[in-house]
Amino acid sequence: MSGGRAHAGHMVRRIGVFAFFSVVLAFFSLPMLWLATAPFDANPSITVSVPEFTLANFRAILDNPYALGSLGNSVLQAGGAALVVVTLAATAAYALSRVRVPGRDALLYVLLLLSSIVTGTAAMVPIFELATRLNLIDTHLGVILTVSGGLLPAAIFILKDFMDATPTSYEESARVFGAGPVQILLHVAVPLVRPGLATIAVWAVANVWGGFLLQFILIRDPQRAPGSVVLYTLYTEGGQPDLSLLSAFSLLYSLPVVLMYLFVSTRYGFRFHGGIKR
Amino acid sequence: MTSDPSGLGRGGAAALVLPALVLIGVFLVFPALWTIYLGLTDYRLTGLAAADPQVVGPANYLDALGDERFLGSTWLSVQYVLGSAVIGQACLGFAIAWLVRDRRGPLRRVVEGVVLLSWILPGSVVAYLWIALLDRDGGTLNALLNTPGAAWLLDHPMLSLVVFNTWRGTAFSMMLYAAALESVPPSHLETARLAGASAFQQLRDVVLPRIRGHVLTNLLLISLWTFNDFTPFLITAGGPEGASETLPVYVYIVALRDGELGVGAAVSFLILAVNLVFALVYLRLLRARGRDADVPAPARAATRTAA
Amino acid sequence: MRLPRRPATTLALLAAVTLALTSCGAEEGSGDGAVTLTITANAISGGKNSATADWIKNWVIPRFEETQKAAGRNVHVLFQPNGVDDEQYKTKVALDLKSRGGADVIDLDGIWIGEFAQAGYLKPLTEVAGAAVDAWEGWEQIPQAVQGLGVFEGKKYALPVGTDGRVLYYNKDLFRRAGLPQDWQPESWREILDAGTALKRLPGVTPIQINAGTAMGEATTMQGALPLLAGAGAEVYSGGRWLGGSQAVRDVLGFYRQIYGGGLGDPRLQQEAKGRDKSFAEFAEGKIGILAEGDYFWRSVIAPEAGVAPMKDRDAKVGYALIPAREPGAGIRGQDFVSMSGGSARVLNPFSGNPGPAWELLSFMHSAEATEAELTMAGEARITARADVNDKMLAGDPMLSFVSEKVLPLTAYRPPLAVYPQVSAALQEATADVVAGRTPEEAAAAYQEKVIRIAGGPDKVAGQ
């Protein structure tokens, strides 16, 4: 193998890799242009164009009596659901990962399949009736519990996979030093998968953040409605979108999720694997 | 490996699983079983059938299976899942994860950042972004390609949606594979390379056996999510004339517009069944591969997840 | 996400969050023994139907509470706004009523009343609120046909809010350039096509926009299929049977074929998810010659100030004409011209704990004073259910007077039955088939098959 050829091959490979990254970057950022221009355009249309710069759209959306409050509601509902999902999924996944229960994987997958029914349109009536009987209509808690039920199987499924992949040797040594199971869970297992937990939390928030139909059916008072429901109100009588309001609100509505992602990714790391390199 | 390294015991494990199981039992299993029951009735949201629903047995299922529109939707959903999840998200996600694996620094952060951004933006906003991109008259894509008037969403609705969903969901596969690839010891790859293995052979013989479990997890989840994805409705509304009416859109139209909740529930159950078929195929493919590969793999994760 | 150190802390935290959340979800009750009433509508301030929401919040509620107080009654009124697609709003209201909950006074689309009544979600007004209903002064102000919006099987279930009518709009500039009269009134479908052929010579102009296909949804049925069917002498439901793939259906589909197969319309526009919005914009830009729409188009879409596709010189540039029957005398009831109407209505919740006060609120909202206030606050004229208000408020608007005087006497309403949306969808699919190039006969046959399935048997379908 001559050095020159290897060098040339190396160059070609490098160029290929950079070309790939450029295409990926272009592909993923291109659709987002509209969100960067339309909210600042005096006459936003469906076309991306250099805006006739204005902040009037934001002033208009701030005049909407529900817009800002709805973002607070989204934070409450999505945050609450993320808390429930992460806590319950982490404990359940840990236990399922460390103790052999016959048929656990099949059971988990069946729950995952059932979650696809509940997140669909057809389960509307059972969910509504359930919420009515439990007195959860028009409450944040109703939204939180219902969406958590739909998200939990997938969260457990993912977390268990990664708990399986973390070494058990630390737990064994902690045991030798007399730590009880709960201490081991909190001080040994959880720190190992913390980035994974953070990721599941972001995933849960993003899922609840965009959800519409369930939230709309369960909430009565617009003071408690989340951003996804308010976004839908920015249409006219005949069903045309009010683009100036819609684009400005879309940006405001997307920002918290993006900020949360940035926060989580700098603070905890944003990936599924544990903190141990093998 | 001992069977209970953390000393939880059955009781401890049960106590940890219980809260999740209770919540799932009340808010997932119960409404899901109720929905499956509704699928056996002629229940509607309004009208006479709302006041007095009748059990019709398998009639809804037989109707759906004999309905061209349902079969067409199923086929579109299969295209959507194979195209956007299995080929698009999983392959692109793996490619990105593979190529950034040894990098640190701004390029990796920026690439991962934009990919993740498209994953966490709210669905209704994302739908607008793609309509703006693909619009026939003022779309950004037509301006860039200098193809004024090209109606992407009308002429190639499914292709557009497949590309859209690849954009939308690649992040999950990318993260999962990035994590999985960290469990592949660099020394093994180095050994294979010195032995003259091509990149493809390295992937097949060294990497795949170690990440098989993650591949399975990934495929199961992204297929399920893609099967149930409702965002296409926000972009094409199932059109033109049903050409992009995937199963969740079909259910929405049947259950919400037509108010036929019984039929909608039955179709939801059929979606579940299709998902199950996909899962069995994945399991079978990945297991068959496992037997062929003669690399002595300490494939702990793989066998455990695939069980 | 940092987890607390101890499970006990976790539990306490969860419990605290739960409590906090449930308590902020508690009812805003009023401890003074007062009556609390709730109104709901698909209207919300700063969004969909904003004017209606503002009227309820800022006019109806304070005025009504005041009137009640003067009469020595302590009544609180709450408003629950919504701003979503009609189908989603309908679902929410149906779920509420199914669980015997929901607001006391509810806004509904008139065509939902029958299916809600059949489901047991609604009861006739007199059954809910007693004799006070029949004694209401407003009934004699509401024309019989408009009262029909709230009537099902001969019983009054709702007070109609208002109604509308459909006409053909045309661009007078384009008509002049095509050598067509400024003062156009076609007498038959043939004359519409002739005008389209003349307009076709103008470059960059789509001669005719009559909604077709499924992407436009109910707009296809209301602005296209049903007025045309009425012009061919057929109603979609009559005598207990649904209309099959009859000659009238084939005539209508044939007319669509001539427009979209003959280059007089833009077939692609009918398929786009946002096609209707685009058709509005194109009409406003002077790119569409003739467009069939309701009066909503005039007052909310191309309105010079507040419209979504405003036309500064609307009054000078836009003409409107009655929709002709296929040929004179061929329409329903032997009419020369036809139209279709819809409209919303307000009902009483039959499960209301305070039916008497709820009726007082409902009738108050439909008083002449309240109706006028609504129009004044909205800053636009609209055809209300009350003749006395219309006489006063429509005088300054020739277009709405035209609809009120010329169109409403000719119009027809849709059947308020649960399977109507599916029949409507079948009609939309038939028009889509024709736009896509199938023959009217094929499309009518496919429609026939669907209707038989939807209606539940060939004996429930007429005119095969």
Nearest by CB: B48 against C118, C268, C436: C118
Judge: B256–C432 Cβ closer than 8 Å, yes or no: no
Whether A240 has a pLDDT exceeding 80, the answer reads no
Residues A108/A153, Cβ–Cβ less than 8 Å? yes
Upper half-sphere CA count for residue C309 (Cβ side, 13 Å): 21
Judge: B240–C271 Cβ closer than 8 Å, yes or no: yes
Topology adopted by domain C166-340+414-462: D-Maltodextrin-Binding Protein; domain 2 (3.40.190)
Distance CA B16, CA B28 (A): 19
What pLDDT score does C3 carry? 38
DSSP 8-state symbol, C210: -
For C204: left if phi > 0, alpha if psi spans -120 to 50, otherwise beta; the answer is left
Distance CA C26, CA C23 (A): 5
The band of A54, judged by pLDDT with boundaries at 50, 70 and 90, is confident
What pLDDT score does A102 carry? 80
What is the SS3 assignment for B39-84? CCECCCCCCHHHHCCCECCCHHHHHHHCCHHHHHHHHHHHHHHHHH
SS3 content of chain B, % helix, strand, coil (to 5): 75, 0, 25
- What single letter denotes the amino acid at residue C319? G
Distance CA C10, CA A49 (A): 50
Whether B289 has a pLDDT exceeding 80, the answer reads no
Distance CA A55, CA C332 (A): 54
Whether B302 has a pLDDT exceeding 50, the answer reads no
Judge: C25–A142 Cβ closer than 8 Å, yes or no: yes
**Closest chain B residue to C432, measured at CA:** B241
Judge: B271–A116 Cβ closer than 8 Å, yes or no: yes
- Span B92-121, average pLDDT: 89
Look up the pTM and report it.
0.86
Paired strand residues for C337: C324
Whether B266 has a pLDDT exceeding 90, the answer reads yes
Give the tens place of pLDDT for each residue, B153-201: 889 999 999 999 999 999 999 988 888 888 788 888 888 888 888 888 8
What subunits make at least 3 CB pairs under 8 angstroms with B? A, C
List the one residue out of C156, C269, C128 whose CA is nearest residue C209: C269
CA distance B242 to chain A (A): 18
Helix (H) or strand (E) holding C104: none
Query: Is A156 strand, coil or helix?
Result: helix
Among residues of chain A, what percentage have pLDDT more than 90? 32
CA distance B282 to chain C (A): 33
Instruction: Give A35's contacts in chain B (Cβ within 8 Å).
Output: 125, 129
- The domain segmentation of chain C, as residue ranges, is 35-160+342-410, 166-340+414-462
Structure tokens at C178: 């095509």
Query: Is C346 strand, coil or helix?
Result: strand
Give the tens place of pLDDT for each residue, A195-231: 888 889 989 999 999 888 889 989 988 889 999 888 8
Residues A98/B5, Cβ–Cβ less than 8 Å? yes
Among residues of chain B, what percentage have pLDDT more than 70? 91
Helix (H) or strand (E) holding C345: strand C344-348
Spacing of C-alpha C244 from chain mean position = 24
**Closest chain B residue to A44, measured at CA:** B132
Distance CA B13, CA C188 (A): 79
Q: What CATH number matches the domain at C35-160+342-410, 3.40.190.10, 1.20.1440.230, 3.40.50.12780, 3.40.50.300?
A: 3.40.190.10
The band of B5, judged by pLDDT with boundaries at 50, 70 and 90, is low
Q: What CATH number matches the domain at A65-267, 3.90.1150.10, 3.40.190.10, 3.60.70.12, 1.10.3720.10?
A: 1.10.3720.10
Instruction: Give A171's contacts in chain B (Cβ within 8 Å).
Output: 5-7
Write down all domains in chain B, each with its CATH number in brackets: 68-306 (1.10.3720.10)
What pLDDT score does B70 carry? 93
Instruction: Give B256's contacts in chain A (Cβ within 8 Å).
Output: 121, 124
Residues B237/C400, Cβ–Cβ less than 8 Å? no
Per-residue model confidence as pLDDT tens for chain C (464 residues): 333 444 445 444 544 554 454 444 434 444 456 899 999 999 988 878 888 999 999 999 999 999 999 999 999 999 999 988 888 899 999 999 998 999 999 999 998 999 999 999 999 999 999 999 999 999 999 988 889 899 998 999 999 998 999 999 999 999 999 999 999 999 999 999 999 999 999 999 999 999 999 888 899 999 999 999 999 999 999 989 999 999 999 999 999 999 999 999 999 999 887 788 889 989 999 999 999 999 989 988 898 887 778 899 999 999 999 999 999 999 999 999 999 999 999 999 999 999 999 999 999 999 999 999 999 888 778 899 999 999 888 888 899 999 998 999 899 999 988 889 889 999 999 999 999 999 999 999 999 999 999 998 899 998 75
CA distance B59 to chain C (A): 13
Distance CA C187, CA C167 (A): 13
Distance CA B193, CA B208 (A): 15
Instruction: Give B115's contacts in chain A (Cβ within 8 Å).
Output: 24, 28
What is the SS3 assignment for C26-68? CCCCCCCCCEEEEEEECCCCCCCCHHHHHHHHHHHHHHHHHHH
The band of A278, judged by pLDDT with boundaries at 50, 70 and 90, is very low
- The domain segmentation of chain A, as residue ranges, is 3-54, 65-267
